[in-house]
Structure 1
């Protein structure tokens, strides 16, 4: 395995315009020589400017739709031309469209799979090929504890995250002999615009009733509460990602790290 000095690493973070992706980008910038933030949301440029003010790393923002294979390829090509191949890729782009198994629309099903599953394949496949050619690297996919634990009202989300998780682990097995580590971080309820949007305006904090409902769970929906009695902050997920891409995790691959306060009892 090629060991890269952390201060010289070339890093890519997808889904970096908000939430977990933005927190991951901020956490990894101090360990990077160059970091590229990708998102289809133009607010990714604002995040890049904020991070640039606090780091010596070269920080760039690229508007990329991960469902567009050509756009992903173009973004990687540009990265390689400017900085060389990525040493670290964190794929945090994703969406959550509510709907039960009985009423999920074909459109929501297809969109969920396109972003959460096919987008994962587009990004990690290209990243892994570049890393195999380079002789090493680290990839982390931000999945969800819903990939393995069914959730009422989240059928397409569960299915798409399960597909992303399965693909990621299969890829990890394939590239491990080449010194490329591929791991998953699977959050539970995390205080992001995506979670807030399930209850109200995604830009507003959770109200007390919604916060309590998440902590307590809902037996009628077969949903456990959170044993640690707190909702994760995006920084909690970013810290787990930062560990997995570091040299401290050099003997860890194919791992799915749950960061959910015990909400799935490590099932």
Structure 2
């Protein structure tokens, strides 16, 4: 990343991929505003970086609360970079998935991205400077059995990010997407508790029309975070509207 210290806002910072991104940004001496429904897991980082890390407990399903928080924050801070890493997974077949499950997934994975991008992008437009990275999923482009709500929410988010990026590109503001595959996070671990495992994910499942992982390993949060940091760095200065697939080849780069 650039040697210039930046102020960065990240959602979903309390665990998994978001927490790893947060830690790496702090190590590079950036100021980070970390948003999550529960940021208690960041306590040790806050002790280590008391003048760089600012935590905000916030349920991004709550649109009025998000809007109030962002109005206050943007009145005080210039946000150089936005990273949308918050995400939830609700498993369920299309014919059994409840409306509440569907709405919950979209409230976080899609509406949450919109709520943060809209005011932050507006400020970036006025400054004609900034960068946004949105964490999507390889499920956005590859159908998955029992994951219709998740895949649909991520597909919508990916397309929103590309449209936003197209609108902001003439101003020099870059918007990119990172689409992980199976990653060793609490979300993935919860799926393993329901009957799958690292090895079954790596091997794939012909019955479910699911390829395995050619690299023969599950991604770590660090693998994904490094992709995000690259897209935010000066090395990616001419990259926008890009969807970086980090899945060990699991979707054959579809």
TM superposition score normalised by structure 2:
0.94
Residues 125-150 of structure 1, C-alpha deviations (whole Å, 9 max, x = no match) = 22211111122101000000000000
| Matching of residue 38 in structure 1 with residue 35 in structure 2 | yes
Q: Using a 3 Å threshold, how does the CA distance of structure 1 residues 175 and 32 change in structure 2: closer, same or farther?
A: farther
Segments of 4+ moved more than 6 angstroms: none
Q: Give the Å deviation of 1:17.
A: 0.8
Specify the alignment match of 1:198 in structure 2: 191
The one of 59, 62, 65 equivalent to 1:68 is 62
Aligned counterparts, 1:241-256, within 5 A: 241-256=228-243
The 2-side partners of 1:36 and 1:50 are apart by 15
Q: Using a 3 Å threshold, how does the CA distance of structure 1 residues 139 and 232 change in structure 2: closer, same or farther?
A: same
The 2-side partners of 1:92 and 1:135 are apart by 23
| Matching of residue 237 in structure 1 with residue 224 in structure 2 | yes
Task: Please list every run of 5 or more consecutive structure 2 residues that lacks an aligned counterpart in the other structure.
Answer: none
TM superposition score normalised by structure 1:
0.90
Specify the alignment match of 1:204 in structure 2: none
Q: Give the Å deviation of 1:53.
A: 4.2
Specify the alignment match of 1:92 in structure 2: 85
Q: Using a 3 Å threshold, how does the CA distance of structure 1 residues 5 and 195 change in structure 2: closer, same or farther?
A: closer
CA RMSD of aligned residues (A): 1.9
Q: Give the Å deviation of 1:31.
A: 3.0
Residues 183-228 of structure 1, C-alpha deviations (whole Å, 9 max, x = no match) = 0000000000000101228xxxxx9x71110100001000000000
Q: Using a 3 Å threshold, how does the CA distance of structure 1 residues 262 and 5 change in structure 2: closer, same or farther?
A: closer
Residues 6-49 of structure 1, C-alpha deviations (whole Å, 9 max, x = no match) = 443000110011001101111111334421100112xx1431x3
Task: Please list every run of 5 or more consecutive structure 1 residues that lacks an aligned counterpart in the other structure.
Answer: 202-206
